[in-house]
Structure 1
Amino acid sequence: MKLEAKWVALWVMTVGTFLVVLDSTAVTLALADIERDFGTDSGIEWVFTAYIVALGVTQLASGWISDSFGRKNAFIATLTVFTVGSGLCAMAPSLPVLVAFRVLQGLGGGLLIPVTTATIFETFGPYERGKAMGLWGIALTVAPAVGPLVGGAIVETVGWRWVFAVNVPIGGVGALFAWRIMTASRPGGHRSLDVIGLAVASVSTSALTIGLSEAESWGWLSLPTVASLAIGLGGVAWFVIRMLRRSHPLVNVALFANRTYALGVVTSALIMVTQMGRGLFIPLELSSTRGIADITVGFVLLPAGIGLGAFMPFGGRLTDRFGSRGPVTVGALLMGLGFALLSRLGPETDLWFIALALTIGGIGAGIGMMSPNIVAMTALRFDEVNQGAGLTSVARQIAVAVGVTGLVAVSAAVEDTPFESGDPVTQAAIDPFNAVFATCAFVMALVLVIAQWLPGPKWMRAMQDARSAEQP
């Protein structure tokens, strides 16, 4: 691929990823309007949950799909399915139909992240992958930050259906550009699809995600929760054993035997949990507890998104030169400081202080968030990249589901009495959020310790030379 074309292709993939990630956060501010339009008072959470579950199902098969059909074809197909699903969501006549179309949307969106990761590692040389991953990482991290602002603005001006409809022209143009610009990759060989393994993994990861998502409302010891978690954990254990025994597994879990890959995935997952926690609880605190308008909440979050996006390419270039130990250490310190400041909020705290704390954390995420993912993929051989990208996405999603559920449990444990909208804002109403952010600060301290075992510049140079020699 020509120099100019591959960078244009990167931006096409970045836009596609941005749409998928943005949709998962922007839609949260539309839920109240959707509930009101459809005249229902239950089941609205499935608009969000169904999408997340569907994302995980296709991520399991991403390696097989890319190997069988090539990454260009996989990218175009997944962006097309996501775009069609978005258009159908915008026209949904009822809540059950909307949930069904959200599943279709998620089935398309689930492939974009692992396919794009693998494509970057095939297209770009070992010495420029960090820069490319840093630019692409803007989509992964800025989209959740601006999602509330975009979603709030769309809902308040033209209505919730446009949260989905806006994806259609952008996704259509993106698929067309991908068809014209991206270079077709060589399929990795038509190995048979493990249908049984995929079915069991899909059911078990879906059950695990649903059980963790609904445990607070169902009750942790209720039959639906216990059954969902038992099916999920049992199915995942069976799936792992099956994958270890197969010569051509659907997901190569044996990659976790690679120490650097495993450390990178674990570090990336821990950082992602805290970022998702921030993205969930800050809007809740500002909007539901403090009564701040949705669009104002978006503006409070915006500086963090700008800082994150500005420093993400810088973090990628640092990783190319020095490995991930330094960038993750600096990033964890800044993210930990940001969460520590957020854990000290009170009823009278000014919005500028909250925005400052978020911006400090956003800059830290920009420097350190993509770095462990870069070294994890660099640690793999060229023929392991497809499998590694899919496994990383699945592991990260499971970690986020478990981690965010844990943060919700922390909040519930600290909450003294339920806060009702319109009640005076007291310290007791703020304390559950402070506890969540203190927990995130503790997780960042753990990341800071793990970072010292991540590879430094000597390892990075040696691995870049090795990968450069083996790349076709």
Structure 2
Amino acid sequence: MQKERLIPLIVAAALFMENMDATVIATSLPAIAADIGTSPLTLKLAITSYLLSLAVFIPASGWAADRFGARTVFSAAIAVFMVGSIGCALAHSINDFVAARILQGLGGAMMTPVGRLVLLRSIDKAALVGAMAWMTVPALIGPVIGPPLGGFITTYFSWHWIFLINIPIGLAGIFFAQRYIDPIRSENPERLDVYGLVLAGVGLAGIAFGLSVAGLGLLPWPVVTALIVVGCGSMLLYLRHARRTASPVLDFSLMRLTTLRASLTGGFLFRLGIGALPFLLPLLMQIGFGLSPFQSGLVTFASSAGAMGMKPLAARIIRTFGFRRIMTINALVSSVFLAACALFTPATPLLLIMIILLVGGFFRSLQFTAINTVAYAEVQTPQMSRATTLVSVGQQLAISAGVAVGAFSVEATMALRHSPALGADDFAPAFVVVAVLTALSAFSFWRMPDDAGSEISGRKAIDISSRKGEVSAVSSTATKKAVEETQDARDQRLG
């Protein structure tokens, strides 16, 4: 029981540090730029180097965990992230800052998928829902409290402390990881597919980086288009190469697993819509409503409070209703609360806004927990490292695409309305667009079997009707045997 509580907290603390740091500097750009002698615009391009580094190194995370052990790689990733944080705090030029951010990206690329792998290999599947619930906290809270925290630290202390506060968190994470996480590694680590790693790295970097800067005005559109086209071309070459190698860095054959496929496809659409929220909402609060960054952060923090309130209930809700029903209905409910943001105006009471964000945060957190957990329902232990790498890549691309869709929607609205400057009315269509994308994810979840993930959720097998209308009563013993036979057949095909 102690392990089931401590390991999720250890991993969550490290991921919180990484998620928060990715957004905490947003409100501190002018101060940092003035101190190191560059412009805020140039510094924004330097910050996107972090996303570039993430995309390049994530594909190697699964191999590294199998080769050197998940605990070792996870602890080393925290250490690398800390060194990069110190480098950012000591930077005196744009080149120093870029180099430090790339180093941070290397650490972050290993922390997220390997941290999830540590959880999967340390926690029994029956307790995975509760453990994974805590894993979703960093992704929900980090982007929300990052900007106001960055503004508070920069205003009352110094921007250097934005990065230096990572040091005690990182040291504690390494200590507890070495103490409580078992040194699990693969007995037969596969050979590193260097050629595939280069193709996947270039492909993901081009797509993620291109989507991240699209619509933000940081690069000319021809350059953004070229990045995305080159990235897509490289990924097509990788897909062709992956069919010919026995140890691909991104194993897309795992998409044959029903629950993993639903988690990736439906999760991509859901994250794409929800991923735009931390980008759109602070802009609406600050530019549209005239709130300060700190005031905006206090309002949007309500969604994080809702996310925290869901954690004790997630396992019970999923166990009662099952993954398929919860994820299908909850995707639609979450999209409604996302669309409700389109109704916010300067005259809307802040209390009402906070209530909507609070309740919406509850449902979004429940959905993230279900998506992150059901992905591994059919994955066998030898395939875990490949699965966590694939899931992390999907998440990174979805977040980048979410920001791009949100920014493009706002720009398109301004162009159609001939708005001379960004105002509160320009945000409503963007919230509607991302809400529709979020709702579309329900189709992927609805296509899952009714008993999908029952081994993880703890929900008893129930009688279900086939698509032809035939009803079959299957005993729990027969169900277990059928699942095992299916998984053995899949393992042989994935071989």
TM-score, normalised by the number of residues in structure 2: 0.87
The residue that corresponds to 2:474 in the other structure is none
The residue that corresponds to 1:186 in the other structure is 185
- Structure 2 contact 302–354 (Cα < 8 Å) conserved: yes
Alpha carbons of structure 1 residues 459 and 26: separation in structure 2 relative to 1, 3 Å: closer
Counterpart Cα distance in 1 of 2:62 and 2:197: 12
The residue that corresponds to 1:8 in the other structure is 6
Is the partner of 2:376 in helix, strand or coil?
A: helix
Map 1:132-281 → 2, pairs under 5 A: 132-216=131-215, 217=217, 222=222, 224-281=223-280
The residue that corresponds to 1:285 in the other structure is 284
Could you tell me how far 1:218 is from its partner in structure 2? 6.5
Counterpart Cα distance in 1 of 2:334 and 2:189: 44
1:18 pairs with 2:43? no
Is the partner of 1:192 in helix, strand or coil?
A: coil
Counterpart Cα distance in 1 of 2:218 and 2:139: 31
Aligned length: 461
Map 1:86-97 → 2, pairs under 5 A: 86-97=85-96
Alpha carbons of structure 1 residues 86 and 140: separation in structure 2 relative to 1, 3 Å: same
Alpha carbons of structure 1 residues 24 and 458: separation in structure 2 relative to 1, 3 Å: closer
**Alignment match of 1:453 (pick from 435, 441, 447):** 447
2:88 partner letter? C
The residue that corresponds to 1:423 in the other structure is none
2:12 partner letter? T
* Residues 33-81 of structure 1, C-alpha deviations (whole Å, 9 max, x = no match): 2223234233121243111111122211111011111111111011111
The residue that corresponds to 1:424 in the other structure is none
Counterpart Cα distance in 2 of 1:319 and 1:383: 26
Could you tell me how far 1:435 is from its partner in structure 2? 1.0
Could you tell me how far 1:207 is from its partner in structure 2? 2.0
Alpha carbons of structure 1 residues 321 and 229: separation in structure 2 relative to 1, 3 Å: same
Is the partner of 2:91 in helix, strand or coil?
A: coil
The residue that corresponds to 1:357 in the other structure is 356
* Residues 395-439 of structure 1, C-alpha deviations (whole Å, 9 max, x = no match): 22123223321221111110134565xxxxxxx822321111111
- Structure 1 contact 264–373 (Cα < 8 Å) conserved: yes
1:444 pairs with 2:442? no
Alpha carbons of structure 1 residues 176 and 407: separation in structure 2 relative to 1, 3 Å: same
- Structure 1 contact 330–364 (Cα < 8 Å) conserved: no
1:108 partner letter? G
Is the partner of 1:185 in helix, strand or coil?
A: coil
The residue that corresponds to 1:425 in the other structure is none
Is the partner of 2:334 in helix, strand or coil?
A: helix
Counterpart Cα distance in 2 of 1:328 and 1:204: 30
Is the partner of 2:158 in helix, strand or coil?
A: coil
The residue that corresponds to 2:28 in the other structure is 30
Map 1:105-116 → 2, pairs under 5 A: 105-116=104-115
* Residues 255-275 of structure 1, C-alpha deviations (whole Å, 9 max, x = no match): 112232111112222222222
Counterpart Cα distance in 1 of 2:393 and 2:8: 22
* Residues 97-125 of structure 1, C-alpha deviations (whole Å, 9 max, x = no match): 11210110010011112112222121111
- Structure 2 contact 259–452 (Cα < 8 Å) conserved: no
Alpha carbons of structure 1 residues 232 and 203: separation in structure 2 relative to 1, 3 Å: same
Counterpart Cα distance in 2 of 1:459 and 1:113: 23
The residue that corresponds to 2:120 in the other structure is 121
Counterpart Cα distance in 2 of 1:358 and 1:256: 34
Q: Which moved more, 1:370-379 or 1:444-453?
A: 444-453
1:16 partner letter? A
- Structure 2 contact 287–423 (Cα < 8 Å) conserved: no
Counterpart Cα distance in 1 of 2:393 and 2:382: 19
Alpha carbons of structure 1 residues 458 and 22: separation in structure 2 relative to 1, 3 Å: closer
Could you tell me how far 1:188 is from its partner in structure 2? 4.3
Alpha carbons of structure 1 residues 112 and 419: separation in structure 2 relative to 1, 3 Å: farther
- Structure 1 contact 335–364 (Cα < 8 Å) conserved: yes
Counterpart Cα distance in 2 of 1:462 and 1:346: 43
- Structure 1 contact 30–160 (Cα < 8 Å) conserved: yes
1:72 pairs with 2:66? no
TM-score, normalised by the number of residues in structure 1: 0.91
Could you tell me how far 1:230 is from its partner in structure 2? 2.2
Could you tell me how far 1:298 is from its partner in structure 2? 1.1
2:13 partner letter? V
Alpha carbons of structure 1 residues 134 and 161: separation in structure 2 relative to 1, 3 Å: same
Alpha carbons of structure 1 residues 355 and 78: separation in structure 2 relative to 1, 3 Å: same
Q: CA RMSD in A?
A: 2.4
* Residues 285-344 of structure 1, C-alpha deviations (whole Å, 9 max, x = no match): 111332211111111012210111221342244335543223323432432221222111
- Structure 2 contact 57–106 (Cα < 8 Å) conserved: yes
Q: Which moved more, 1:388-397 or 1:335-344?
A: 335-344
Could you tell me how far 1:249 is from its partner in structure 2? 1.3
Counterpart Cα distance in 2 of 1:194 and 1:458: 33
Alpha carbons of structure 1 residues 447 and 316: separation in structure 2 relative to 1, 3 Å: farther
Counterpart Cα distance in 2 of 1:312 and 1:332: 17
Counterpart Cα distance in 1 of 2:99 and 2:441: 38
Counterpart Cα distance in 2 of 1:9 and 1:347: 44
- Structure 1 contact 133–313 (Cα < 8 Å) conserved: no
1:50 pairs with 2:44? no
The residue that corresponds to 1:388 in the other structure is 387
Is the partner of 1:247 in helix, strand or coil?
A: coil
Q: Which runs of 5+ in 1 are unaligned?
A: 421-427
Counterpart Cα distance in 1 of 2:453 and 2:70: 29
Alpha carbons of structure 1 residues 96 and 289: separation in structure 2 relative to 1, 3 Å: farther
Could you tell me how far 1:453 is from its partner in structure 2? 1.9
- Structure 2 contact 87–100 (Cα < 8 Å) conserved: yes
The residue that corresponds to 1:337 in the other structure is 336
* Residues 3-53 of structure 1, C-alpha deviations (whole Å, 9 max, x = no match): 313422221111001101111121212122222323423312124311111
Alpha carbons of structure 1 residues 108 and 344: separation in structure 2 relative to 1, 3 Å: same
